[in-house]
Amino acid sequence: MRIGCFARSMRSVFAALVLAAVCLLPSCRASAQRLPTDVVPTHYTLTLTPDLKTATFTGVEKIDVNLKQPSKTITLNAAELKFQSVVVYPNGPRETGSVSLDPAKEQATFTFPNAIPAGSATLEIHYTGILNNELRGFYLSHGDRRNYAVTQFEPTDARRAFPSFDEPAYKARFSISLVVDQGDTAISNGAIVADTPGPGPDKHTLEFSETPKMSTYLVAFLVGDFQCTAGSSDGVAIRVCATPDKVAYTSYPLSIAEWVLHYYDDYFGIHYPLKKLDLIAIPDFEAGAMENFGAITYRETDLLVDAKTASLAAKKNVAIVVAHEMAHQWFGDLVTMAWWNNIWLNEGFATWMETKAIAAMHPEWHMDQMEAAADQQTLNVDALPTTRAIRAPEVNTPAEINQLFDAISYGKAGAVLRMVENYEGKETFRKGVHAYLTAHEYANATAQDFWSAQTTASGKPIDKVMESMVVQPGVPMLSFSAPRGGQVQVQQQRFFLNGGTPEASQQKWTLPVCFQTAGGSQDCQLLTPSTTSLKAPAGPLFFANAEAKGYYRSAYAPAQYKAIVAAVETRLTPVERISFAGDEWARVRANQSSVGDFLNLAAALKADPYPGVLSQVSAAFSSVYYQVAATQQQRQQLQKWVHDTFGPEYKKLGAPSASDSADKRELRATLFRILGYYGNDPAVLEQAKQLSDEYLADPASVNPSLAQTALAVAAQNGDEELFNKLQNVYETAKNPELQENALRYLAMFANPELEKRALAYDVSGKVRNQDAAIQFAISLQIPETRQLAWSFIKDNWQQVQGELTTSMGQILVGSTGAFCSAEARNDVQSFFATHKVEASETPLKQAVESINGCIALRAAQEPKLKSWLSQQPGLEAAE
């Protein structure tokens, strides 16, 4: 499953803050809800008949099971289902059972008059269910012209569609049939093998090929008038499907899928396990995408794109999400974690793998810079006191499990895998991956299974490294002294952005540290808890995170730090510059460095030719501008500094040209954003309005990357005319990128009356519940709209709460962490103490942490900012 991506055209800080909002761990334990282990399913036969008009469905199910011992009862999972009958066919007479439900545990127990003998038996179950509006289980998705019946089962919602042993270790085969309206089709994990008229004159029955052995959460079935674009790769039929009005946007993702499947076949050395692969865009979808075996489902904006008018960010996003979900066909589907506390075996692997195929397909996209920037966001989330270890403590309930799909399972696990791959060498690591997959295909695996395979393949102590990184929470801080005599002293302790405990600060890790060498390569050495020094390679520059592959923060002695800053554009690679800038800003937030030093570093990077580097620098500007600066005078001085520092670099790029490289186009958009948001540049603000008008009139007339940035800048300063145009685009556009971005921009208007309109619109019923909470989250992040949005949420809580799904509620609560005062912190705590949001205790704790961190940041750094500003020539004119 891919966490939803909704910040492509928003300020990058929004993505970081909301990422923190979904880094979750339950603070209290509910009662265990695991199934008994005495009954094991081997095969399901499912026939489902959905009625889209009444939002209900009927099901007839047979489950072949093996009983380890005689028993009169069988317990499995079921939620929101009504049972008509249950019978069992054991090695003896047919038995009719009674059903007792435990809604709290989402379980049903079948009790039979006589004990069922040990061995094989078949359950036959007749039941009914609802097509809900909660974006989970078997649910209704609302298109522009009609409804669709679709599924989302991960992690614990297959039980809402069919009674099942709904735990990942209970793998079985599935034979699925769907009875649908005559004009509709259906999609499932297998290919259609039979299409039979009836039952009745207006129905037909679609039968699908039997699946491989797989977990229940990977089952999928979708019903409606989907249309598809077809292709193939390595003998596998590939389709990209959508509602009829959006099938025109399926060609680009199809080309990505064809490339990625061939790449993965070659990389893993294991051919894609099925004969077909469908990728389906769904109008209502809570996550970004879901890796159902052979039938991957997506948010429309994470799959569908118009290649002719799409921004580069949109193309990258679609490519990455397609690659992520397809990686799951091996990591997660073919080989599945034994239990949810090791969900990182699925999500971390897919995050690590998602950029490989795309980097090979589009080297000009610099996917390594995207990885380095994502690592910075993850490191910041992991530096909060309420973070968790990659391998979670034992979890049992759906609420606990749902909270594991976070920045740690995805981002940290993926970053640690990249670090280990870099330490071993790419080919050695690939051999370990192949051995792991081959040993556990169509089965379940544990973390130890993976790192044992890597230890064997490499001959290095990967088990020690992985256990150290997977079991312990938090970020290592490595502090390096000045190198002497070919050695460098190094100290490690746990790093916190704010807070922390003395006990936690004593943590130590086993991890590889890779130094930059004179020849442009790297020298990797193993740091252990008992290590106090490492060999310092000879070279013109001492830099201790070569190619930014290490999962740690670094701090240097003053002379070495000064040397790095002086050579930042000549001796560091782009990803190393991203890592170095990220480390420096993190140290500012922890009050281990000065905001002035960071701004000096930003000035040293002003002419960087890579947009990924400047984006990393600009991500901190929002905090400096809104959180560190305490007066309007300081903000005006910062505006002039931004204008004077980055304005000339923007002018050097000249007017946009069709011959511009991808880097130049993205660099222009990045500098435009910096000058528009933080420089308050009059020329840029005027150009933003002009470009927005041109783009909305004809999307093909303006470079889409610059146009999307211009729209974001224009919206913040926009009037009613622009608001109305964007609202119309959202309501009428078929292009998913245009439609979604238009909606996002509505949340950014600083004009109070227009912001009130946007907030009311979010709960009007015209905004999907997959989007409403995101709109509130954006408004909460923007200082000009924050208080108005918070007041609206409190005053209209019943309407707001009605729009919240589980994940969206977590995002909303976490986004209140954008406040920066004790008064606001107390208000947030007080409100949510009496207005509970499901599974959001930890997002609330992290929100409070963020607010406290902002208060501490301003107290520590505002005097330093004031001093630095007073030393900058020409800024007195801004006073």
Using DSSP, state whether 35 is helix, strand or coil: coil
**What residue has token string 């397909």?**
361
Q: How many residues make up the chain in this entry?
A: 879
Please name which of 365, 396, 145 lies closest in space to residue 246, comparing C-alpha atoms. 145
Interatomic CA distance for residues 213 and 243, integer angstroms: 30
Strand locations in 785-852 (E): none
Interatomic CA distance for residues 281 and 260, integer angstroms: 18
∠ CA 638-640-646, nearest 5°, is: 95
Please name which of 616, 611, 620 lies closest in space to residue 638, comparing C-alpha atoms. 620
User: Taking a C-beta distance cutoff of 8 angstroms, is the pair 536, 515 a contact?
Assistant: yes
Interatomic CA distance for residues 716 and 625, integer angstroms: 16
Q: Which residues contact 184 (CB under 8 A, 6 or more apart)?
A: 223, 224, 225
Residues annotated catalytic, as ranges:
325
Kindly give the pairing relationship between strand 443-445 and strand 335-337.
Answer: parallel
Local structure of residue 9 (DSSP, 8 states): T
Angle between helix 783-795 and 822-834 (nearest 10): 30
∠ CA 659-663-668, nearest 5°, is: 85
Enter the tokens of residue 254: 């199809």
Burial class (CB within 10 angstroms; exposed 0-12, middle 13-18, buried 19+) of 172: buried
Interatomic CA distance for residues 339 and 335, integer angstroms: 12
User: Taking a C-beta distance cutoff of 8 angstroms, is the pair 196, 182 a contact?
Assistant: no
**What residue has token string 């989007």?**
771
Distance of CA 130 to the CA centre of its chain: 29
Q: How many CB atoms lie within 10 A of CB 831?
A: 16
Single-letter residue type at 226 = F
Q: Is the dihedral of CA 123, 126, 132, 138 positive or negative?
A: positive
Single-letter residue type at 328 = H
Please name which of 550, 528, 524, 542 lies closest in space to residue 486, comparing C-alpha atoms. 542
Largest CA distance in the chain: 94
Single-letter residue type at 861 = Q
Q: How many CB atoms lie within 10 A of CB 343?
A: 27
User: Taking a C-beta distance cutoff of 8 angstroms, is the pair 288, 138 a contact?
Assistant: no
Using DSSP, state whether 95 is helix, strand or coil: strand
Single-letter residue type at 761 = Y
Phi and psi at residue 490, to the nearest 5°:
-140, 135
Interatomic CA distance for residues 510 and 463, integer angstroms: 10
Q: Which residues pair with 242 in a beta bridge?
A: 227
Using DSSP, state whether 485 is helix, strand or coil: coil
Enter the tokens of residue 246: 């959006």
Phi and psi at residue 97, to the nearest 5°:
-105, 165
Torsion of CA 123, 127, 132, 135, to 10 degrees: 10
Burial class (CB within 10 angstroms; exposed 0-12, middle 13-18, buried 19+) of 593: buried
Interatomic CA distance for residues 352 and 71, integer angstroms: 45
Strand locations in 8-97 (E): 39-51, 56-67, 71-77, 81-89, 95-96
**What residue has token string 């750094």?**
861
